[in-house]
Amino acid sequence: MPQDTILVFQMGKVGSKTVINSLEQALPGATIHHLHFLHELDNIEKHIRKSWFFSEAQMEHLAHCREIRKQIEDMPSEQRWKVITLVRDPVAKMISAFFYNIDLNKAKSSYRLLRKRKVIRDLVRQFLETVDINDGAGWFDHQLQPVFGLDVFTEPFPAKRGYHIYNTDKADILLLKLEQLNQCAGEAFHTFLGSENFTLTNVNKAQDASYATIYKKFKENLNLAPELLDQIYSARLPKKFYSEQEIEAFRRKWGKA
C-alpha cells in the first residue's frame, strides 16, 4: 500500500465527514478511502438487498469494500495500512441515524410547521418507539477485529486524551473520540501521520435551515427515561471510551428533568 493512502474505516454516524474533509485539506495528494464494511460482505449485501434502503449507491460502496479487502489480503507483509476510526456518544449517534433514515421532506416543505410543537413531539415519539439501542460495539467485533486483528475492548484507551494509536501486524490504527476532536485532532494527526499543518475543518451536515431547526428542537425536547439511559451507558462502548464524568454529562443532556 502506498504511504499516502489512508483508510477511514468506521461505523455509521460518528462524524467521519469532518475527518475526511480535514484530511483532504491537510494532505492534498493523499488517497483516502472511506468504508463501513470489510468483513462478511456477502451477508451484508444480502441484508441490504432485502431492506428498504437498497440503492445502487450501496452496491457501489460494497464493490469498493470488496476491492479494498482484496488489497488488504494481497498486501506484502512488509507493508502496513494507516487506518482511522471513531467513536461517538451512543445517543447522539442514534439520533443522527434516526434523522438519516426518516423522511423529513414534508416537515422541510413548510417552515411554518416548525412553529408547531406537534411536529417535534411526533418525531420524539417516533424515535422512542423505533430507536435501536446500538452503541456500535458490535462493529468493532465484526468488522475491525477480523480484518486488522485489533480487539479495542482488551486494549487501553486514554479517555482524557481522546485518542489512541494501536499497532497490529497489518495496520497502524488511530481511534478518535468525536467529542474531543477539536482538542486532540492536531496532536493526534501529527503523531499518526506526521502532518504539521492539520486543521480540523468542520462539516455542516444540516445546512438546510428548516432541517437544522428541526434537528435542534428535537434534541432540546428529547427526554430519555433513567432506565433507558442506564441500559445505554452501562454498555461496553461508552464504559470503555468515556469517563464517568463524560457519561454523567451525557445522561444530564439526554435525560432532562
pLDDT (0 to 100) of residue 2: 46
Q: How far is CA 93 from CA 99, 129, 150, 179, in A?
A: 10, 16, 23, 11
User: Per DSSP, which regions of 150-206 are E strands?
Assistant: 163-167, 171-177
d(CA 27, CA 33): 13
Phi, psi of 177, rounded to the nearest 5 degrees: -100, 120
The angle subtended at Cα 114 by Cα 110 and Cα 119, nearest 5°, is: 100
Q: Tell me which residues of the chain have a pLDDT lower than 70.
A: 1-3, 103-117, 204-210, 257
Contacts of 79 (CB under 8 A, 6+ apart): 1
C-alpha dihedral over 158, 90, 139, 245, to 10 degrees?
A: 20
pLDDT tens for each residue of 217-238: 899 999 999 999 999 999 999 9
pLDDT (0 to 100) of residue 189: 96
pLDDT (0 to 100) of residue 111: 45
d(CA 185, CA 199): 8
Q: At what angle do helices 117-130 and 209-221 cross, to 10 degrees?
A: 70
Residue 225 DSSP SS3: coil
Query: Is residue 240 a contact partner of residue 157, using CB atoms and an 8 Å limit?
Result: yes
Global confidence as pTM: 0.92
Neighbours of 138 (CB within 10 A): 12
